[in-house]
Amino acid sequence: MLTCCAPFSGSAQDRPIAYTAEDSIVSNAEDGTVELFNNVNIVFGETTLQAGYAKIYWKDQLVEAKGYKLPSGEMTQQPVFVESGKTFYLSEIRYNWSTEKAKIKALLTQEGENFLNGDAVKKVDSNTLYMAGTGFTTCSHEEPHFQIKTGKSKVVMGERIITGPAHFEFFGIPTPLVIPYGYFPTNIEKPDISGLLMPSFQNSPTQGLGLVNGGWYFPINDYMNFELRGDIYLRGSWALAATTNYKSATST
């Protein structure tokens, strides 16, 4: 294992970058770059990046990372990016550690109860993502049983997912269930965020396939909120429930 450490060249950070690689670290003083090969780990303060291959551009305060290509042609060690306690699984990333902006290909992460994926992603700050080719679901399977697909979306981490026109997919098959606009809160502890609540997928032996516990969340004030949730199944049965939650002003 090869280990190196170098100071940040940007004013946004005051701690050094530490980086390691299993095979080799190749520095080029002329163009100010460092290439790292196999089991790469880079630490930018409290932000970390793991990948099979990475290249650091000191002058531009950039790092590019992707997987490691085996002799068989298979890609392994796909990048894993961790920032502010959030973990992002990627195929490629180009990250500026000074501005915290990034361009990402094939992202997968969890936001609240939702599993979120995107084909092309722009990270504009530590909390905001703009995504193209977005899918999100509460299903934790690698190939989700259902998801909402949209051409573009905005994700404010820890708060909300905002989409344009979107449709439901079941087992990868598009359906005619379409919404013109989506606003999904991912943290209903925030008193000012209302919107759609993502349903979960269920396969009932008596009722068939269904979406359950989806609905609408509406905060009334700092101490009271209202939830309208429902279930619907392909065999025609459905259910609807309304809940009002109250938090005492003296509670901590």
pTM of the full structure: 0.77
Distance CA 145, CA 160 (A): 23
pLDDT of residue 192: 64
If the chain, 252 residues long, is cut into consecutive pieces of 10 residues, what is the mean pLDDT of each piece? Answer: 57 70 92 95 94 96 94 93 94 95 95 90 94 90 87 91 90 87 76 72 81 79 80 84 76 50
Around Cβ 78, how many Cβ atoms within 10 Å? Answer: 18
pLDDT of residue 118: 94
83-91's contacts with Cβ under 8 Å and 24+ in sequence apart are 83/46, 83/47, 83/126, 84/46, 84/47, 84/126, 84/127, 84/157, 86/157, 90/65, 91/66, 91/67
pLDDT of residue 199: 81
Q: Which two tokens stand for residue 15?
A: 């701690």
pLDDT of residue 131: 96
pLDDT of residue 12: 44
pLDDT of residue 11: 42
pLDDT of residue 188: 59
